Copies of this chain bind each other. A is one copy, B any other.
Amino acid sequence: VATEVGVGEFDLIRRHLQRVGAARADVVLGVGDDAALVRPRQGMELALCVDTLVEGVHFHPGVAAADLGHKALAVNLSDLAAMGAEPAWATLALTLPDADEVWVAEFAAGFSALAGSVGLALVGGDTCRGARAVSVQVAGQVPCGQALRRRGAQPGDRVVVSGTLGDAAIALSHCLDPQGRMLPAGEDAAARQWLLNRLHRPSPRLALGEALRGVASACIDISDGLLGDLGHLLTESELGASIELSWLPLSAQALAVAGESAARAAACAGGDDYELCFTISEACTMKLTTLSARCGVALTVIGRIESEGGLSLRDADGRRVTPLATGYQHFAR
């Protein structure tokens, strides 16, 4: 257990993590005291969550600091989106192998750009030495009783996903080598760059999440692969679902770079999508077009909720398919 003396840590935190994200009137006291002080709005519930990204597990050692700053926040915002909550405040625990100020400045810039764009303030930070890892905790606000949950789907509801699925997994498997270096590109360079952007700079579907309050019957964010995460929603709702694999939304870029078979497999079980998977009554499906236009993201019906448990998958010919993999797991057994 090291005991070292200096002024480095405090300076590092102060300089780069002090004014990150939006300036909010409800932040009474930000970074720099024993704790931050914030004032929640009346009539709101708080949505609280935490997600950690560890070097070598969730990101390659060479990833750009600004990308990591964006992503560490984005994965948490995706959880808030899945609850229908509006982002408010975040704290950050940053573990670094050394006090590399350029790295911290770039990390903070990536984090701050996303935070500012969604109105979130960073109110607390802790920096310490160790294997590189980023843990972000966010607090969002949602009117009492209106949060979206995994539980609540009804038989007959349609299963809907936002955006396209599998892009990040294809970027990992087709655009980067195991060390995270870019593989040589041909005519598909633009498609590869787009896929890498999907991996490194996910867009949390916050506007969609808020718009789904009172509309979706259940919701989850897809971080560990569609089938695994949909499985959680079904478990919590105590229902099953039939999914049409041929309906899964694939990007033109994933199809161009990886081909249909790999793209579809990635859409089923690849991680890092950060899209929303939600259920909606049949009557509400007519709202999807408007919702999609309003929130600026594609919405695709991929199946329906069944009263019988389990996940039933069908291919384009109507044959039942058994998935090989159902999600990303850090602890395989």
Contacts and interface: CB of A to CB of B under 8 A. Distances in A.
Interface in A274-333: 325-333
A57 B89 CA distance: 28
A137 interface: yes
B52 A128 contact: yes
Chain A contact residues: over half helix, strand or loop, or mixed?
mixed
A102 interface: no
Interface stretch (A111-119, A138-146, A189-197, A241-249): A138-146
B46 A40 contact: yes
B129 A131 contact: no
B328 A79 contact: no
Contact of A35 (B42, B85, B133, B325): B85
A149 B40 CA distance: 19
A135 interface: yes
A36 interface: yes
Contacts of A187: none
A185 interface: no
Interface residues of A, number: 92
Given A57-B128, A147-B29, A50 B328 contact: no
Contact of A45 (B28, B45, B92, B269): B28
A18 interface: no
A125 interface: yes
Interface in A22-54: 28-29, 32-40, 42, 44-52, 54
Contact of A330 (B9, B140, B327): B9
A126 interface: yes
15 contacts: A5-B325, A6-B333, A8-B330, A8-B333, A10-B232, A10-B329, A29-B147, A34-B79, A34-B219, A37-B48, A39-B45, A54-B128, A55-B130, A57-B130, A99-B333
A261 interface: no
Nearest to A36: B48
